[in-house]
Amino acid sequence: MSKTPFYPPSGIYSDSYYKDMRILKTRTQWILSVVSLVFLFALPHIPFLNSSYFLRLVIGAGITVIICLGLNILTGYCGQLNIGQSAFVMVGAFTSGLLNAYLGWPFWASVIPAGLAAAVVGTVFGIPSARLKGLYLALTTLGAQIILTWIALFGLTITAAGFSVEPVKLGGIVFNTPEKFYYVAMLFTVVMTFFAKNMMRSKLGRAFIAIRDNDKAAEGMGIDIFRYKLIAFAICTFYAGVAGSLLVHYMMWAQLESFTLQDSIWYVVIIIVGGLGSIEGTIFGVIFITGLKELIFVIGPIAEEKLAFLPIGAGSGLLLVIIGCMAIFFLSFEPRGMAHRWNLIKAYYRLWPFGY
């Protein structure tokens, strides 16, 4: 590692391809990364932050990060719109849940099959991407949401009724509390974020970006567009499947009503707000929307109590209004999402005090 100073380096200079490709380029970034990992590890033991409720929020955010990372790889990097992500989460959830409930497979044995099952189904629904683009492709993924929900509703009555799933176990440890499951969720979140970040710097990631930016030019460069689109669908839905598996073992319960079209829309809003085509943006989007939801959970009921003219539920309904406005705001004024702001801040920091 080069002797990069701790203070703002006024730009980052790489004198080899290897250095240019590094994720962590400065000592500051290394220190911040290590501190972040230590903080994540110690979180359940930090006073005021270790409440069961807060940990549940973090677990929920971690699982959502995995779902949205997959979606961002497909939509943000590869340019293929998917508005049925929740259905693929459901495929992973039910695969893992049923393997556990009927065959007794533990989480560790069923998580990869869950991801693979979702990936297979996702690839099938990705086939129309060979001929369709944009809104038309989005409609096929909407079809996936409807078809898969219908199958879960009428194909297997147990998935409509709901069933119990065992918690994650490792040796003698049972991860059945937020304090314990937190570590499982964070392990998967960190590892899958790392994979996603690396994948997007590889040949595969660059092919995705080329397809997104101009598919004809990409084809001209020798990229097999159909193959890469299907790979993008498979990766996206694999992430969804793994998240689904985590979700049911965390909930210890699997039921159809947990995977709705509204959830799929939320995931799209999250990556728009965070930043399409950005791994960091996905994390920002999840944190922002989770925080916003919590804020409105507090403000909504108070507003309803103080403002007597509001009908029942109107205060809490603010959530949907504000998040809808937020999506419009970001699309209108910051279409590159929070990740773009973050990049501007980083650039300003690196170049300070020279503003050119």
CB of 263 to other proteins, least distance (A): 7
CB of 17 to other proteins, least distance (A): 44
The three-state secondary structure class of 168 is strand
Pick the closer one to other proteins by CB: 12 or 147. 147
Applying CB under 8 A, which residues contact other proteins?
51-53, 56-57, 60, 63, 101, 150, 153-154, 157-158, 160-164, 176, 178, 247, 250-253, 255-258, 262-263, 297, 300-301, 311-313, 316-317, 319-320
Pick the closer one to other proteins by CB: 141 or 159. 159
* Secondary structure in 3-state letters for 310-350: CCCCCCCCHHHHHHHHHHHHHHHHCCCHHHHHHHHHHHHHH
Q: CA-to-CA distance for 114 and 249, rounded, in angstroms? A: 12
Identify whether the C-beta of residue 23 lies closer than 8 Å to the C-beta of residue 205.
no
CB of 52 to other proteins, least distance (A): 4
Residue type present at position 280 = E
CA 247, 248, 252: angle at the middle one, nearest 5?
125
CB of 60 to other proteins, least distance (A): 5
Structure tokens at 32: 């911040």
Structure tokens at 265: 């829309």
Pick the closer one to other proteins by CB: 8 or 317. 317
Nearest to 321 by CA among 294, 293, 302: 293
Nearest to 159 by CA among 53, 253, 60, 51: 253
Pick the closer one to other proteins by CB: 163 or 342. 163
Structure tokens at 251: 């909930």
Q: CA-to-CA distance for 277 and 269, rounded, in angstroms? A: 13
The CA-atom distances, in angstroms, between 27 and each of 143, 154, 274, 348 are 48, 56, 26, 18
Pick the closer one to other proteins by CB: 256 or 268. 256
Pick the closer one to other proteins by CB: 197 or 293. 293
Pick the closer one to other proteins by CB: 9 or 162. 162
CB of 313 to other proteins, least distance (A): 4
CB of 146 to other proteins, least distance (A): 10
CB of 173 to other proteins, least distance (A): 17
Q: CA-to-CA distance for 239 and 270, rounded, in angstroms? A: 16
Q: CA-to-CA distance for 73 and 235, rounded, in angstroms? A: 8
CB of 250 to other proteins, least distance (A): 8
Pick the closer one to other proteins by CB: 79 or 244. 244
Please report where in the chains the tokens 């992973």 appear, as a residue. 92
Strands (E) across the chain are located at 163-164, 168-170, 173-175, 253-254
Structure tokens at 55: 């940990």
CB of 157 to other proteins, least distance (A): 5
Pick the closer one to other proteins by CB: 107 or 233. 107
